[in-house]
């Protein structure tokens, strides 16, 4: 895939305007709940050809944390930001997560995309 993958984290994708949803790609792992036919149907209906992973338009090896930007970058980055100061309440936790997601910049995502390409190339060689 040559186009940059834009990662947007939202609590509910239904809140996004349709024009924004067209720019969202869903990448999921091979977790058993993601393989249920109703989930597959919903995913295909919502994201159409913008699904990366099991049964998606763009196939991706299951359980491949070295190739998954969510695993090798995003979750660790978000967790580090969220728990820099432990949130005292559930609402504070939600706020920390939202704030951490908001500071993921396009430049960071560009670097992550370059890292994915590098990691995939290492697997090919």
Q: Which residues contact 103 (CB under 8 A, 6 or more apart)?
A: 81
Closest by alpha carbon to 119, among 52, 71, 50, 56? 71
Let me know: does 24 contact 12? Beta carbons within 8 Å: no
pLDDT of the residue at 30: 65
Give how far Cα 26 sits from Cα of 23, 64, 68, 118, 125, Å.
Answer: 10, 16, 12, 21, 27
Q: pTM value?
A: 0.54
| pLDDT tens, residue by residue, 79-119 | 999 999 999 999 999 999 889 988 888 888 888 888 888 88
| pLDDT tens, residue by residue, 4-39 | 333 333 334 455 565 666 677 777 766 777 778 888
Q: What are phi and psi of 27, to 5 degrees?
A: -120, 125
pLDDT of the residue at 110: 85
pLDDT of the residue at 2: 26
- 58 SS3 class: strand
């Amino acid at each position: 895939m040559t186009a940059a993958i834009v990662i947007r984290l939202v609590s509910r994708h239904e809140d996004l305007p349709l024009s924004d949803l067209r720019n969202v790609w869903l990448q999921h792992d091979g977790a058993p709940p993601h393989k249920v036919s109703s989930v597959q149907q919903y995913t295909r209906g919502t994201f159409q050809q913008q699904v990366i992973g099991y049964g998606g338009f763009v196939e991706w090896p299951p359980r491949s944390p070295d190739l998954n930007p969510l695993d090798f970058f995003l979750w660790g980055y978000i967790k580090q930001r969220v728990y820099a100061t432990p949130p005292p309440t559930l609402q504070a936790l939600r706020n920390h997560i939202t704030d951490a997601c908001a500071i993921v910049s396009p430049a960071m995502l560009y670097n992550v995309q370059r890292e994915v390409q590098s990691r995939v190339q290492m697997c090919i060689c």
